[in-house]
Amino acid sequence: MVKITEKFYFDNDGTQYILVQQGTRQGIDRKTKKPTGELVNYTEIVGYYSSIGAMLEKCSRLLLADKIKSGDITTISEYISEMKRLKNEFADLISSISI
């Protein structure tokens, strides 16, 4: 897999791009559905995309949502600023690819 950020990666099966999220989270007991108190590693497929641009757009929306949830973004101006930063960062990545 190819790393995009600390928790987002992608893979390509020849026909589509697969956005994957990896990280650690609180373990959950499958029977009781209650936290076990231990951290476990996870890998989740976020979605399948026909273009790298669409995949990176989804990734940027998820990154923005995480920053809002964590309290790193608290105003609309911070949101817009971060959205522009991510858009520019991902646009630079896409423009560097010669297909």
- Give the pLDDT confidence of 23-52 residue by residue, as tens digits: 888 888 888 888 888 988 999 999 999 998
pTM of the entire structure? 0.78
From 26-30, 75-79, 87-91, 94-98, the region with the lowest mean pLDDT:
94-98
**3-class SS at 68?**
helix
User: Would you place residue 63 in the very low, low, confident or very high pLDDT band (cuts 50, 70, 90)?
Assistant: very high
Looking at per-residue pLDDT, the higher value among 9 and 98 belongs to 9
Residue 97 is predicted with a pLDDT of 63
| Arithmetic mean of pLDDT, 76-96 | 88
Distance separating alpha carbons of residues 23 and 89, to the nearest angstrom: 22
Please tell me the number of Cα atoms within 13 Å of 2 on its side-chain side.
12
Residue 33 is predicted with a pLDDT of 85
**3-class SS at 11?**
strand
Length of the chain, in residues? 99
As beta bridge partners, residue 89 has: none
| Arithmetic mean of pLDDT, 85-96 | 84
